[in-house]
Homo-oligomer: A and B are copies of this chain.
Amino acid sequence: MSEPASPDPDASTDAEVFLDAARTRIDAYLHEVLPPTDGPSARLAEAMAYSILAGGKRLRPALAQAACRAVGGDEERVLPFGAALEMIHTYSLIHDDLPAMDDDDLRRGRPTSHKVYGEALAVLAGDALHTLAFEVLLVRTEPADLARQAALELARAAGPHGMVGGQVEDLGAAGREPDEETLLLIQGGKTAALLRAACRGGALIGGGDEREVEAAGRYGRHLGFAFQMVDDVLDVTGTAETLGKTPGKDEAEHRMTWVAFEGVEATKARAEQEIGWAVEAIRDLPGRALLAGLARFVTRRDR
């Protein structure tokens, strides 16, 4: 039986198939590296598993795998790094959802960590995932120099000049008149930094040369901005059911978003522009077709 022809000229079917396979690989790997829930500190292990095994899209590990393949590498090698990315992402979601931060009750369609385990354990489950990310990556990536480089990509993207810095800017910007510079600073840190690191690390571990790692990083950064723009749009147009989290929060909290800055349509156009730049950045990579398809697919999501 022949496969039906893809109705999508930009290979979004291939992207979807790849994303599914990448998610299956990383989910299996995460089960392997998380602490057992029947050992010591069982409640901590349970809280860690609750948040990270809640069935996210696994975009960051998938991008790492795609960037690895795009430079000719074997994506199995990048699973420790992918698991670390997902742990860092999940820790940040747990902490962001805390009452003192965004005070969110719903995440990935389920009650947030502190609603289930209480605030203290939620803080600690986030902390534990944060540390475990570095442990898993450093133990399981060879050789040592590559492990170090990949861990540095992760640390720089997650730290005060990346994800956490962006979160602080976001908190400080609430209620202020939106401006482009601040939006780039917030979302460059909160989202684009980690997607950039996912792609750089994937290309690095896949054996890419400096030029290829740079190209993958630019792609990831543009994709990160596009992704966040789509997220801003969905917060206005989506429902709790389709989003798996509470919609309308951005406006309710006077958060600085692209939609608040220039409206839904202009934000959609800006996202398209970012995707164009992302695709342009990887024009010389051997495996550019997969990355280009992913860029279009993940920003066309309705959730």
Show the binding face of A for B, using Cβ within 8 Å.
35, 40-41, 43-45, 48, 91-92, 95, 98, 100-101, 118-121, 123-124, 126-128, 130-132, 134-135, 138-139, 144-145, 147-148, 151-152, 155-156, 158-161, 164-165, 167-169, 171-172, 185
The residues of B that contact A185 with a CB separation of less than 8 Å are 40
Question: At the interface, is chain A mostly helix, strand, loop or mixed?
Answer: helix
Cross-chain contact of A160 among B45, B95, B98, B101 (Cβ < 8 A): B45
Q: What separation, in Å, do the CA atoms of A194 and B119 have in the docked complex?
A: 24
Q: Is A155 a contact of B127 with CB atoms below 8 Å?
A: no
Chain copies in the assembled complex: 2
Given A44-B160, A138-B155, does the pair A100, B128 have CB atoms closer than 8 Å? no
Cross-chain contact of A168 among B121, B168, B169 (Cβ < 8 A): B121
Q: What separation, in Å, do the CA atoms of A64 and B130 have in the docked complex?
A: 23
Chain B CB within 10 Å, residue with most, of A120, A128, A131, A145: A131
The residues of B that contact A155 with a CB separation of less than 8 Å are 131-132, 134-135, 138
Given A40-B165, A144-B144, does the pair A132, B160 have CB atoms closer than 8 Å? yes
Q: Is A101 a contact of B130 with CB atoms below 8 Å?
A: no
Given A123-B123, A148-B148, does the pair A156, B135 have CB atoms closer than 8 Å? yes
